[in-house]
Amino acid sequence: MKMKFSLINNKALVMLLFIVYLSTNTFAQPKTFSETAVLQNAKNLDATMVDNFREGYAIIRKGEAFAIIDKTGNFLVPYGKYKFNKPRGFEIDRDRCGFYQGMCVVRDVDSEQYGYINNKGILVIPCTLNDAEPFKADGFAYGKHKNAQGQDERVYIDRAGIKYRIKDQSLYERNQNDAYPLSANGYLEYYNKKGKLLFKTKRHRNGVFSEGLIVVDTTYELAGGKAGYMDLAGKLAIPYKFKGSLAGFSDGLARYEPPTSDEFKYIYINKQGEQVIKLRDTEKFKNIFFGNSYFSGGYALGTNSYGRPILLSKSGEMNFFDEMIVANNPEFTKNFTKFTVNTFGLERHGDFVWFEASMEYEVMEDFITGGIGGGQKISKKTTKTMRGSGVADLNGKMVIPPIYNNVGGYDPVSGLAKVFYYIARDGNSTEVSGYANKDSQVVMIYSRKNL
């Protein structure tokens, strides 16, 4: 069973995190979903919806007005100054919202055009773009503007706000790193994002540049069906010697899958083309899958056929992540076994969940019945099972303890995660939503709902 994985990599702290949902409520303090998890001086946010923190800041919403707050709940950008995409509940942000590389896309409330602010809230790139994407690590963002003829034009924007026209406007090259290709007279011409021609080649392109290298091959007659890597100067940096599937580089390593897995299932190579990690199934690690994993922060993330997560270090050591959590958190009970994968989180940041019954609460649910002409409203009391949710780092140590009913994305810069949980008292339940820190404290609240 193949699954796609990616990892959070915050360059400031290089902390990779997983969301875990655990049956136990025996974590140190507090031990239950209760008011003891809320600071007495927790700040009440004037908001109807909030997004995850990213790089120390979060977008919040009140009605149709948006603002940005810092980790203390103070405004970086006040309500109504700019527009943003709507926050996405507890789903980890996949759109243009929030800070990336110290810059945040904003939209002018009058012109509806896009620009960028820095992490001081200053508009550093004016709102003159028809479309804008977050900045990437290479220092450029993809966008659109109107050219002198009034036509839409695709461009790359640098951090100074200078726009560079993409050579072929039929291409949608928003995901390219370092350079992008154009076809011309039987050649592939590679340009950097400022539009400078780097080189041209007849070698076949496969994928995008990563850490200055791109997978290439030629015809099967010339290269014998083998692939290698080309650098940004157009030189063959790693010769044609790989017959199987090659991936891009990350953390200095690239994954190679041999055409047959008789000896090794996965091999990781360095930038000299040397095979530094070789993986095969063992008695403990059976049916391993690293087919979509990349190294980030010193680890690659795989799984076995049951979806059990495996962490691979650069030394080639594999460990089951759940065993690491148990070993590093003696507060947990032994009742920690069943595992499944959180699909929405897996597609974004490699989030993982352990499910077992932890506590039950009763809620009132309304539904309609009665057939044609009926439609009377009936209240039905149902019982739901709650699960503890927290965040762990790659050492298996809990960063946000599993005392909440749900946890959003954790931001290492602010040290906050969006959470919600239920308080049961005298037969009634209250749903509380806000932000919690790693000390098990809810420091900001934006919603309380009686159920």
Q: Which residues touch 298 (CB under 8 Å, ≥6 apart)?
A: 14, 251, 313, 314, 394
For every residue of 126-141, which 3-state class applies, written as one string?
Answer: EEEECEECCCCCCCEE
Among 2-16, 75-89, 196-210, 233-247, the least confident range: 2-16
Q: Is residue 285 part of a domain?
A: yes
Per-residue pLDDT reduced to its tens digit, 304-351: 888 888 999 999 999 988 788 778 877 654 443 333 333 322 222 223
The pTM assigned to this predicted structure is 0.76
Q: Between the ranges 41-45, 267-271, 443-447, where is the mean pLDDT highest?
A: 267-271
So what's the pLDDT on residue 174? 56
Q: Is residue 121 part of a domain?
A: no
Kindly list the strands in the beta sheet with 245-250, ordered across the sheet, starting from the edge strand earlier in the chain.
Answer: 245-250, 253-257, 266-269, 275-279
Query: For residue 292, what are its two tokens?
Result: 């979509």
| Residue range(s) defining the domain that contains residue 83 | 17-101+212-450
So what's the pLDDT on residue 38? 66
Q: Is residue 237 part of a domain?
A: yes
Q: Is residue 110 part of a domain?
A: no
Among 30-39, 154-163, 339-348, the least confident range: 339-348
> How many domains does the structure of the chain reveal?
1
Q: Where are the alpha helices (DSSP H) in 155-288?
A: 220-223
Q: Is residue 206 part of a domain?
A: no
Q: Where are the alpha helices (DSSP H) in 32-119?
A: none
pLDDT at 210 over 80: yes
So what's the pLDDT on residue 148? 82
Q: Is residue 180 part of a domain?
A: no
Can you tell me the distance from the alpha carbon of 189 to that of 171, in angstroms, rounded to the nearest whole number? 13
Q: Is residue 11 part of a domain?
A: no
Per-residue pLDDT reduced to its tens digit, 227-247: 899 999 989 999 989 988 889
Per-residue pLDDT reduced to its tens digit, 13-32: 334 565 554 443 333 333 44
Contact 166/180 with Cβ under 8 angstroms? yes
State what percent of residues in the chain have pLDDT above 70: 69
Residue 206 pLDDT grade (very low, low, confident, very high; cuts 50, 70, 90): low
Query: For residue 236, what are its two tokens?
Result: 């063959």
Among 154-168, 201-215, 296-310, the least confident range: 201-215
pLDDT, mean of residues 367-374: 32
DSSP 289-301: B-TT---BTTEEE
Q: Is residue 45 part of a domain?
A: yes
Residue of 298 and 32 predicted with greater confidence: 298
Query: For residue 381, what are its two tokens?
Result: 């009391």
